[in-house]
Structure 1
């Protein structure tokens, strides 16, 4: 396969490049410095020149709070970029795989969110990501939209696991939100799922295009997630003592953008269609030393 990756320096993008580096696949990896996805002409020129079988869009504006005031840039990256990539994919008869988010939902449903549930984003970030979904679906017939949540991994500097590991050695206790529920998702598992989907589409002829949910199980709160992180860190001798996790409410930890109370995504569809199991986030915490590099 010829695979074009955007956002190659992000959490998922880095893993895509790593996992594909020793394969027979031809990979064109780009970041914001080598390909500006908000520039329609640049995108079309790059895609027409490379002519990929698959475009994996791992580029996104993900600063949820900052987006509330940075509306134009958030929509440029999360809506216009995917639109231009999808148009270019359609032009060269490529498949586009696009990463989206739980923030497209209001977060007030009881139980898990299915792909068919009504979207109702309450943040600029969520609205811009939903707009990107709609553009991808409208502009390219052969599309996969992969919604995920609570992404963490070894790459990058801003994810919950790294933050907890940074704070733990200097704190005897930490206040962590305990009324938001979701599925922590290991970035490498997202990358693996995207590669498997691309392989099944290009090499095996799977044509089940559309929206899929992929995130981790079991579902937990942020406080519960933190507690497991600290347990794993102690088991791996990275913490001498475990800080107390003091559960607080969302109201006690105000943020500029409203977080969804319920980010639990149902992952049955991706298992049924592609045989891909939910991310095992607890297994991904068994090598925490890699997160400290």
Structure 2
């Protein structure tokens, strides 16, 4: 199988690259933002024609949530219009697509884990552009698996875990939001799930949810990072109102993973286990 991965240098792209050795039967190509600028729509078809993949794993995205509020056109170009182009190519060439979306397509006013059929209603520009990307894939009729994920972290790139470790090393005291609830995703686990789906004998297109098991706040996450990294820093829980950001965040975006587990027999580790593994690698 010829597999093309976009966003090669991102957290997920880097973790996918690490799994190539486990799949010698596949022909992988990894393309970076420079090689496939997703804000250059004319170039997307050229690149896809050049590689002519059987499967596209679209791990590239505009993910600067706060910056998107002041760059809505660019965010829309990358997260929506480019995705539409990829989906159309996949449909025309009878290929498959695995596309990564986000929990931020939800409003965040639920109190139970969100299933794939829950109504989307994003409250920030980033979430809106990702919602439009999902809708474009569905409209195209492409044979696609859309995976919504949340709070992604990895040994690669910049993310909450690495930021917390840095801040707790530099400071005696920090404050972290305690009233936004969800579950983090170790990019290595998500990459493994993607490979399972890519090679599944019962490929079922549609929307799926994936994050690590468990339910926590950002504050809980920070406390766990401190304990596992063996750091000495006081962490104060604060409400969202005390930490204003350009983009609103959903208060509750815990994802229900029943569908992906039942359909593809994906095993999902608990968030604490995965955090220990990641911090150990650092």
Q: If the TM-score is normalised by the length of the shorter chain, which range does it land in?
A: over 0.9
CA contact (8 A) 1:68 1:124 kept: yes
Match of 2:226 among 218, 227, 230: 230
Residue number in structure 2 paired with 1:290: 281
State the distance in 2 between where 1:91 and 1:28 align: 20
String of CA shifts for 1:201-221, please: whole Å, max 9, x gaps.
xxx2x2421000001121100
In 2, Cα distance between the equivalents of 1:65 and 1:39? Answer: 22
Partner of 2:150: 149
Deviation for aligned residue 1:245: 1.6
Cα deviations by residue, 1:123-168 (Å, 9 ceiling, x for unpaired): 0000000000011112143100000001011000x21100111011
Per-residue deviation at 1:278? 2.9
Tell me, what secondary structure is at the counterpart of 1:115? coil
Following TM superposition, by how much is the alpha carbon of 1:289 offset from its aligned partner in structure 2, in angstroms?
4.8
Conservation of the 8 A alpha-carbon contact between 2:108 and 2:253: yes
**Number of equivalences:** 280
SS of structure 2 residue aligned to 1:111: coil
Cα deviation 1:228-284 (Å, max 9, x = unaligned)? 1111111xxxx3xx2122111000111110011001000000001001133432122
Asked whether 1:267 is paired with 2:263, we answer: no
Match of 1:120 in 2: 121
Quote the Cα distance in structure 1 between the aligned partners of 2:257 and 2:170: 37
Partner of 1:176, secondary structure, is strand
| Cα distance in 2, alignment partners of residues 207 and 272 from structure 1 | 12
The secondary structure found in structure 1 opposite 2:66 is helix
1:22 Cα offset (Å):
5.1
Residue 286 of structure 1 deviates from its aligned partner by 2.2
1:280 maps onto 2:270 in alignment = yes
The whole-number CA distance in structure 2 between the counterparts of 1:183 and 1:33 is 31
Between the aligned partners of 1:6 and 1:259, the Cα distance in structure 2 is: 26
Q: Does 1:47 align with 2:48?
A: yes
What is the deviation of 1:50? Answer: 2.0
The answer to whether the 8 A contact 1:212-1:270 is kept is: yes
Aligned to 2:7: 7
1-side partners of 2:56 and 2:189: how far apart? 18
RMSD: 1.3
Instruction: Find the aligned partners of 1:272 and 1:123 in 2 and give their Cα distance.
Output: 31
Structure 2 distance, partners of 1:207, 1:224, is 36
Question: How many Å separate the matches in 2 of 1:71 and 1:282?
Answer: 35
Gaps of 5+ in 1: none
On the 8 A contact 2:87/2:137 being kept in 1, the answer is yes
Residue 132 of structure 2: aligned partner: 131
1:75 pairs with 2:76: yes
- Partner SS state of residue 64, structure 1: coil
Q: Which runs of 5+ in 2 are unaligned?
A: none
Instruction: Give the Cα separation in 2 of the matches to 1:258 and 1:94.
Output: 36
Distance 2:94 2:131 in 1: 24
TM-score (norm 1): 0.92
Deviations 1:88-126 (A, max 9, x none): 111221100000000000001121111000000010000
Q: 1:48 Cα deviation (Å)? A: 2.3
